Chains A and B, each alone.
Chain A
Amino acid sequence: AQSVTQLGSHVSVSEGALVLLRCNYSSSVPPYLFWYVQYPNQGLQLLLKYTSAATLVKGINGFEAEFKKSETSFHLTKPSAHMSDAAEYFCAVPVGTPLVFGKGTRLSVIA
Chain B
Amino acid sequence: SQTIHQWPATLVQPVGSPLSLECTVEGTSNPNLYWYRQAAGRGLQLLFYSVGIGQISSEVPQNLSASRPQDRQFILSSKKLLLSDSGFYLCAWSRRWGTRNYGYTFGSGTRLTVV
Say whether A associates with B: yes
Is there an interface contact between A43 and B108, defined as CB atoms closer than 8 Å?
A: yes
Interface size for A (C-beta < 8 A) is 24
Categorize the interface residue count of chain B: 20 to 34
Is there an interface contact between A44 and B106, defined as CB atoms closer than 8 Å?
A: yes
Which residues of chain A are near B32, meaning CB under 8 Å? 97
Name the segment of B14-22, B44-52, B68-76, B77-85 touching the other chain: B44-52
Is there an interface contact between B100 and A30, defined as CB atoms closer than 8 Å?
A: yes
Chain A 63-85, CB-CB to B under 8 Å as 1, else 0, gives 00000000000000000000000
Q: A43-B90, A44-B90, A90-B43 are in contact. Are A97 and B99 (CB under 8 A)?
A: yes
Q: How far is the CB of B3 from chain A (nearest CB, A)?
A: 12
Compute how far the CA of A82 lies from the CA of B108 in the bound complex, rounded to whole angstroms. 23
* Interface pairs (22), CB distance under 8 Å: A30-B100, A34-B103, A41-B88, A41-B111, A42-B108, A43-B108, A44-B44, A46-B103, A49-B101, A51-B101, A90-B43, A94-B99, A97-B32, A97-B99, A99-B46, A99-B99, A99-B103, A100-B46, A101-B36, A103-B41, A104-B43, A104-B44
Interface residues of B (CB under 8 A from A): 6, 32, 34, 36, 41-44, 46, 49, 51, 57, 59, 88, 90, 92, 99-109, 111
Interface residues of A (CB under 8 A from B): 9, 30, 32, 34, 36, 41-46, 49, 51, 90, 92, 94, 97-104
